[in-house]
Amino acid sequence: MNQHKNDFLLANSNYLLNHSVGRPLKTAEDAFKESFFAPWQHSGKEPWGSWLDIISNFQLALSVLFNAPAEQFCPQVNLSSSLTKIVMSLASLNKEDVVILMSEIDFPSMGFALQKALPKSAKIRFIDKSLDITNANVWLEHLNKEVDLVFISNAYSNTGQLAPVHEVISQAKELGVISVLDIAQSAGVIPLNLQDVSPDFMLGSSVKWLCGGPGAAYLWVNPNIVEQCQPKDVGWFSHENPFEFDIHNFSYNQSAMKFWGGTPSITPFALASHSIHYFASLGASYVRAHNQKMIDLIVDEFDAEVISPIQRETRSGTVILNFKDKQKVIMDALGVANISVDARHLGMRVSAHIYNDADDIQQFIDVVKQNYS
């Protein structure tokens, strides 16, 4: 048995839905009780000291995983509201006719947030969904001095593609274009070193490959731009001294924490920080190597049905398969066999994590083959 299988609560299923929600660690519940609940339960004093330690621990876990100082990460509720906060914070985006570049296959919520948060005259230029988003030239043909902000996702969940983030972010830097990197689908499974790839902003969550549950999103702000940011959605925890309590004086925290807001939520971050530490100590390269081996097993069997990239350099942690008119029958049979996958318009999404092994993949292959003739 795979050595990591025993670390997670897998509920007796062959779970291949890690692009959606990762499974919890077996230790998650006890760790949560100890960090969040025990200080509240056992002390007659208010537990904020212990609760804020949870946030520091969350920042620390991210700092190890992405190789950047802890204070450059600010807890967020989700990516959409974080993106709203970013664009509203920059004077250079709050003028007439700003131009945003993103892909038509980006997660729709990101487009919704940009449309509503930016002034009405803002134009979003979508890279057409028919174009190959893994090809740096496609991006570079669209990225020019007219663009004010480029939004790029590291991985795209419906196509299983990776974007050329190095090239795009470097070009954006050269042109003076603001860059925002979405790592919702890649955090934990695609290595990312913020000392090598350095966007202006990076947004992520903990719910998918990091197995940390919903509500524990984060925003990383490049120190080169943090001073220019003047978030509108603020509260006392965005203040440089939350306990100053002078209603006439608001003064931004100097770090990314200026994006924090009012009284923070803590519970999601208690769960997530425990899990992110686990993955930070494994390292994303290790997780990716295993995930890619599992994808190879599927590609070897169904190369004609794989519609996500075959080349490792351009494929994410998810393999997308299209079994055409047999898709529904196969999905039903997988459900009966307790093999968890899902489907979007392009095909079936299959995402193997560190706790899946070759036996899981073989079981998936067997069920598909029995129903695909």
Ligand X SMILES: Cc1ncc(COP(=O)(O)O)c(C=O)c1O
Q: How far is the CB of 179 from ligand X (least distance, A)?
A: 15
Q: How far is the CB of 82 from ligand X (least distance, A)?
A: 8
Residue whose token pair is 């903990």: 206
- Of 80 and 198, nearer to ligand X (C-beta) is 80
Measuring CA to CA, which residue among 285, 281, 311, 284 is closest to residue 296? 311
Q: In three state form, how does the secondary structure of 258-316 look?
A: HHCCCCCCCHHHHHHHHHHHHHHHHCHHHHHHHHHHHHHHHHHHCCCCECCCCCHHHEC
- Of 79 and 348, nearer to ligand X (C-beta) is 79
- Of 126 and 372, nearer to ligand X (C-beta) is 126
Q: How far is the CB of 201 from ligand X (least distance, A)?
A: 13
- Of 109 and 363, nearer to ligand X (C-beta) is 109
Q: How far is the CB of 84 from ligand X (least distance, A)?
A: 10
- Of 35 and 82, nearer to ligand X (C-beta) is 82
Rounded-to-integer distance, Cα 241 and Cα 228, Å: 19
Q: Which CA distances in Å does 259 have to 89, 143, 230, 244?
A: 9, 28, 9, 18
- Of 57 and 205, nearer to ligand X (C-beta) is 205
Q: How far is the CB of 335 from ligand X (least distance, A)?
A: 21
Rounded-to-integer distance, Cα 174 and Cα 139, Å: 14
From the CB of residue 168, how many other CB atoms can be counted at a distance below 10 Å?
24
Contact by Cβ (8 Å): 191, 285: yes
Q: How far is the CB of 189 from ligand X (least distance, A)?
A: 13
Contact by Cβ (8 Å): 4, 359: no
- Of 168 and 217, nearer to ligand X (C-beta) is 217
Angle at 73 between CA 264 and CA 194, to 5 degrees: 160
What residues does 150 pair with on adjacent strands? Answer: 101, 179
From the CB of residue 95, how many other CB atoms can be counted at a distance below 10 Å?
12
- Of 47 and 317, nearer to ligand X (C-beta) is 317
Q: How far is the CB of 341 from ligand X (least distance, A)?
A: 15
Rounded-to-integer distance, Cα 193 and Cα 285, Å: 11
Residues near ligand X (CB under 6 A) are: 78-80, 107, 109-110, 153, 157, 182, 184-185, 205, 217
Rounded-to-integer distance, Cα 6 and Cα 26, Å: 8
Report DSSP letters for 120-175, one per residue: TT-EEEEEPTTS-TT-HHHHHHH-STT-SEEEEESEETTTTEE--HHHHHHHHHHH
- Of 113 and 234, nearer to ligand X (C-beta) is 113
Given CA atoms 269, 228, 68, 79 in this order, what sign does their dihedral have? positive
Q: How far is the CB of 218 from ligand X (least distance, A)?
A: 11
- Of 17 and 54, nearer to ligand X (C-beta) is 17
Q: How far is the CB of 373 from ligand X (least distance, A)?
A: 34
Q: How far is the CB of 107 from ligand X (least distance, A)?
A: 3
Rounded-to-integer distance, Cα 325 and Cα 330, Å: 10
